[in-house]
Every structure is written in structure tokens, then in C-alpha cells.
Structure 1
């Protein structure tokens, strides 16, 4: 009897926590399908009178949504390609290389994990301004070309791979780059998939850096574009709240899809990321 009560209590608590966490998402979904008139009701409704699918199309007329999407895609792909390749090269050097000061340099890389971007953005902003990169893709991508977290995870994965595998490949005539990209990289696929997901989510959701580095609709990304739309309607949020929620749903859909397909790789990579 006690076990039954305990099990029931756990289920109730789990359902309660799930409901609390999911409610903001539910409210966003519901709001996206409402009309401005419904949003102005004194007593908010928990389900729209009519599902206004047209709201998701009206987003494209309310702001340069396609331009913002293109900028976000370019930024995300650029950062993703650079971070993964630079991470693989650096991790290989720290895990399998032998050179003076290797471990001390790796500690410096780990130190970068505790430095938030808000601390370094002023000198980076000044530097990019002097070379004329502000309001360009270079400013959105290059400062995030390397990830200390990614280097750390890949280094731990590469260290767990037996050196005998590399020696056998060398005997077969494999070059250093072939060892890296044809032997080590395929064996580190779960970790790389995890880094792809983490980098994708971080870059796609990036707000602070694009806000600082861009100042026109031509270069704005989705997060900054939506925030600008909200700011332009301050005091009359009910006129555009349904469009803002619809745009937010369209933004998070790619993240949800990527995470669903890659979640098993994330678990596998985290299991192998202990410090060695």
C-alpha cells in the first residue's frame, strides 16, 4: 500500500512539474492562433474561438522575416562549420599531439569557458569597427569560430580512443589528416553530433551578439528582428502579440526537430566527457 501511494505521489508531482514547465509553451501556441480582438478580452481564453492559421503567413508581411531567416541561416552554418573543424583540429593536437606546454595551453582553453561574451565584446567591437566588419556576416561569424566547450568534449573523446588504432592506420600509409578525418572523426561521431546540436541551438538563438554587431534590417537575425518588432509596438502589444508568438513558433521548430533526431547522441557524448 505504501509503495502504491509513493508511486502515485511521484506521478502526480511529475505531472505537476511537467504542466508548470509546458504551460508557457502552450500559451504561446494558443496565442499564435488568436485574433487581436481575443487578445484584448478582459478574461483571457485558454483556447481560441477559431484557429487563425493565417497568422503564420502574416508574419512575413509584418517584418522582413525571410531576410532575417537568411541571415540566421548564414550565421548558424558559418559558425557551425568553423567551430566543428577548428574544434577537431585543436582537440587532436591536445589529445594526441606532443609539444611543449600542451597541458598548460589546454588549461587556458578551459579558462575561456568561464569568460562570458559580455566581458570581451567591447574590445572585439572596437577591433571589428576599425577593420570595417560591423554590420557584416564576418562580425556575426568570426568571433564565434572556435568553442572552448567543443574543444574540451572532442579532446576527451579523442583521448579515449586507443593509440593502437592510429598506429595501425599509420602502418597502412595514412597521413596525419587522414588519421584525423577518416579514423578519429568517425569514431567521435556521437560527440560531433552533440556539438552540432549545441552549436546550432546557440547560434540560432543568439541575440546579444547580433544585436550589438548589426544595426539594419539587412543584417538582423530572427531573434533581433522579433525583438525590434515588439519594441516598435510598445504600448500596443495586443495588435501584434499573435504575430510575435507565431514568429516565435516558426523560429523554434528547427531547434525542436534537430534535438529530437540527435538526443541519443547527446546522451552518449555526455557519458564520455569526464575529465581525463
Structure 2
């Protein structure tokens, strides 16, 4: 039986953990509004003495922020679109298909989860270079067209759906694409939303791949823009750190908005992600 002391301790522990996790974000936001003089104080302040909105305007003057934003949006939209559609079709095949080597191929998909980009980027870079795709949107998007983790989540969700539902749809004349997009996808919407969220965050925050595949401001993304700002103030971080934090705040706003709308689906999706 849960006692009042146990309940109070649980809520207090949860509150402390939440504060510890949110404090870095809070510190980043208030730092973005501080003045250079306030940053150099011996005793740090936990609330800006004066809100400096000019810090955000300075970001747009330091780097071609509009161009970087457009590149990031195009990259993210392309990757999310491809990952969710490739993931849906692959998951449908692995969950409901019946072909030789299905389970072994799925194990290969899972094995891809442990292979970092740093291991495969050399052959991929050589291939894209021969195709003439370096410094193009193709290089930013196509190598990330599929997500092993997204396929895994969707496959687990599809396996939990009764086959009788699919057979009934086929008897009504539905083809495979209609079954997948008209029946299974709506039923798996929490998992689909979670995969979209994971893909969006990963694409929006991507740094290593755009750094390797682009070499001009015309194709740079926001993460590289922040790195460029950091390099431009090298040696003066102590007095220019507020502008770097202002850029970081602008970049994370879309992620916060998307997560706020999608968070209710995450727990439902994760509850169906156990290996079957």
C-alpha cells in the first residue's frame, strides 16, 4: 500500500529530476537575453537584468540565417518524407509479408542500428562524389532516406494488428497500398507520429553529415551556421556567448513546438516497441 510519505517522495524525486533536465535549457534561454557585461559578472545571475532582444537580431547579421534556415527546412522535409514512407513500406513487408529470409533480413536492419555514420561516410562520400551530388540537396537527403529504428518501431506496431482486419480490407477490394496507407497507417498513428518526431529532430539537428557533404554557404544548414558563429567569436566567447545562445534558442524553437504537439503519441508508441 502506498503511504503518503512514499507518494510525496516520488513526486519530489520526479520534480528534482525534471528541474535538473530543464535547467540547461533555461540557462540557455536567459543567457540569450543577457548583455555582454552581465556575462562577465563574478556571480552569475539567474534572471537577465535587462532583456537584450538585439542579440537575436545580431544572429541574422552574423550569418546568412535565412539561407541556412531554408536549407535546413528542405533537408528535414525531404528526410522525414522519405523515412516515413520507406519505413511504412518496409515495416509492412517485415510484419505482414511472407517471403524467404524475411526474419534474417530484418535482423540485418537491426544490425544497422549499431553502425555509426562515421564508419560508412567514406564509401558513401565517394559514391556521391562520382554522381556529382556533393554540395546538393541530394547529398543531404538521399543517404538518410531510411531509418532502421523507424522501420523497427513501425514493424512492431504492424505485428500487433490482427491479420483479420487486413483480410477484410482485401476482400472489399483494397490493394496493398490502400491497406497500408488507408488502414494500417491510421491505426498506427501514435507510432507514425513518433517516427516523424524522431526523424524531424535527427534531421534538424544533423551536423556531421551536412559538414561532410557541403562546402559553401549556399548549402549550409543551421547547425553549421551556429558552428560558424562560434568560430567567428573564437577568443571572445566570454563576452559574445549570449549571441551564440540566441542563435541556439532560435534553432530549437521548431523542435519544441513539434515535440509539444507529438508528445502524447510517444508513450503509446513505445509501449508497442517490444521485440516480437
TM-score normalised over the length of structure 1:
0.94
Shift of the 38–265 alpha-carbon distance from structure 1 to 2, 3 Å rule, reads same
Alignment deviations for residues 207-250 of structure 1 (CA, whole Å, 9 cap, x no partner): 11111111221111111110111012110113431111111111
1:255 maps to what in 2? 255
Q: In structure 1, what is the Cα distance between the partners aligned to 2:253 and 2:99?
A: 45
Shift of the 13–268 alpha-carbon distance from structure 1 to 2, 3 Å rule, reads closer
1:90 maps to what in 2? 90
List gaps (5 residues or longer) in structure 2: none
Alignment deviations for residues 132-191 of structure 1 (CA, whole Å, 9 cap, x no partner): 111111111001000111111111111111111111111111112111111111111111
**193-202 or 208-217, which deviates more:** 208-217
Which runs of structure 2 are paired with 1:235-246 in the superposition (5 Å)?
Answer: 235-246=235-246
TM-score normalised over the length of structure 2:
0.94
1:20 maps to what in 2? 20
1:111 maps to what in 2? 111
**212-221 or 71-80, which deviates more:** 212-221
Q: In structure 1, what is the Cα distance between the partners aligned to 2:61 and 2:239?
A: 14
**235-244 or 188-197, which deviates more:** 235-244
Q: In structure 2, what is the Cα distance between the partners aligned to 1:28 and 1:204?
A: 18
Shift of the 156–15 alpha-carbon distance from structure 1 to 2, 3 Å rule, reads closer
Q: In structure 2, what is the Cα distance between the partners aligned to 1:240 and 1:222?
A: 18
Shift of the 93–239 alpha-carbon distance from structure 1 to 2, 3 Å rule, reads same
Shift of the 6–270 alpha-carbon distance from structure 1 to 2, 3 Å rule, reads closer
1:224 maps to what in 2? 224
Q: In structure 1, what is the Cα distance between the partners aligned to 2:24 and 2:187?
A: 40
Q: In structure 2, what is the Cα distance between the partners aligned to 1:262 and 1:18?
A: 19
Which runs of structure 2 are paired with 1:85-234 in the superposition (5 Å)?
Answer: 85-234=85-234
Alignment pair present for 1:80 and 2:65: no
Shift of the 187–35 alpha-carbon distance from structure 1 to 2, 3 Å rule, reads same
**168-177 or 19-28, which deviates more:** 19-28
1:266 maps to what in 2? 266
List gaps (5 residues or longer) in structure 1: none
Shift of the 158–12 alpha-carbon distance from structure 1 to 2, 3 Å rule, reads closer
Q: In structure 1, what is the Cα distance between the partners aligned to 2:114 and 2:8?
A: 42
Q: In structure 1, what is the Cα distance between the partners aligned to 2:12 and 2:164?
A: 52
Q: What's the offset of the Cα at 1:21?
A: 2.6
> Over aligned residues, Cα RMSD in angstroms?
1.8
Q: What's the offset of the Cα at 1:40?
A: 2.7
Alignment pair present for 1:36 and 2:53: no
Q: How many residues align?
A: 275
**111-120 or 46-55, which deviates more:** 46-55
Shift of the 184–59 alpha-carbon distance from structure 1 to 2, 3 Å rule, reads same
Shift of the 153–20 alpha-carbon distance from structure 1 to 2, 3 Å rule, reads closer
2:56 maps to what in 1? 56
SS where residue 218 of structure 1 aligns?
coil
